[in-house]
Structures are given as structure tokens and as C-alpha cells.
């Protein structure tokens, strides 16, 4: 079945360490997105990519980095510069052409930095 896979589901890291969250999709979607969610809050956009080898900053990109070397993959690195990295991270993808049936989301990675 087609879908988006995020791994791992839970991740623990020490403060000051970089960590990379994986996101893979087999939906043949062109666009991919990373969101962050804090307790009781809505989703905030970190980065997005419309095509391979291209990506744009979202609303809260500081302290994060991404790459898009393959259509299927859009990994997110949480760097030590991110002051408050503990959060729930969600990856999504969509067909690039306008509209359609919206976004497909992964099941998320819960990152805890201690």
C-alpha cells in the first residue's frame, strides 16, 4: 500500500546533539513537508520541497535543515541550534499540481531532548 513512513516513532537525544528524522513516501508525490507540533498547539511548517534538489523555509525553519536528493525521501535534521527541539514532528506529501485531495501525513516522530 502507498503511504508515508516516518521513523523512528520515538527518539531520545542529549542536548547539543544533531538528530535526523526520516521520512519516506511511495505515493509518487512531488511535494513534501515537515511540520512541528507542540502540546495543545496546531501544526507549524518547518520546511517544504516541491521538487527534487529544491526546498524552501517555512514559518519556523531556524535550527533545522533538510535535503531532497530523491523524490521519495525528505529527511529533517534537528540541529543543536534549535533551542526547543522537544516536539512531535510530522511529515506530509502532496501531488504538486494544485488542489486534489490534499496532503497525506505520516504517523509522526516524537523527539525528546534531555
Partner 1 sequence: DAKTTQPTSMDCAEGRAANLPCNHSTISGNEYVYWYRQIHSQGPQYIIHGLKNNETNEMASLIITEDRKSSTLILPHATLRDTAVYYCIALDISNFGNEKLTFGTGTRLTIIP
In the list 45, 52, 60, 61, the residue contacting partner 1 (rule: CB under 8 A) is 45
User: Which part of the chain contacts partner 1 (CB under 8 A), choosing from 13-21, 35-43, 60-68, 70-78?
Assistant: 35-43
For 59, phi then psi, to 5°, come to -80, -25
Distance separating alpha carbons of residues 6 and 59, to the nearest angstrom: 21
Rank residues 48 and 74 by Cβ distance to partner 1 and give the closer one: 48
Coil, helix or strand at residue 78: strand
**Positive or negative torsion for Cα 78, 104, 60, 112:** negative
Residues that bind partner 1 (CB under 8 A): 4, 30-31, 33, 35, 40-45, 48, 50, 58, 88, 90, 92, 96-99, 101-108, 110
Amino acid at each position: 500500500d502507498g503511504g508515508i513512513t516516518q521513523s523512528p516513532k520515538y527518539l531520545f537525544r542529549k542536548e547539543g546533539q544533531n538528530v535526523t528524522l526520516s521520512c519516506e513516501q511511495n505515493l509518487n508525490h512531488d511535494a513534501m513537508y515537515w511540520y512541528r507540533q507542540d502540546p495543545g498547539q496546531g501544526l507549524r511548517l518547518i520546511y517544504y520541497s516541491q521538487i527534487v534538489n529544491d526546498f524552501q523555509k517555512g514559518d519556523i525553519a531556524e535550527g533545522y535543515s533538510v535535503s531532497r536528493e530523491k523524490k521519495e525521501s525528505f529527511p529533517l535534521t534537528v540541529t543543536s541550534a534549535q533551542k526547543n527541539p522537544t516536539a512531535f514532528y510530522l511529515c506530509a506529501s502532496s501531488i504538486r499540481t494544485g488542489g486534489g485531495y490534499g496532503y497525506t501525513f505520516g504517523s509522526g516522530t516524537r523527539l525528546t531532548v534531555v
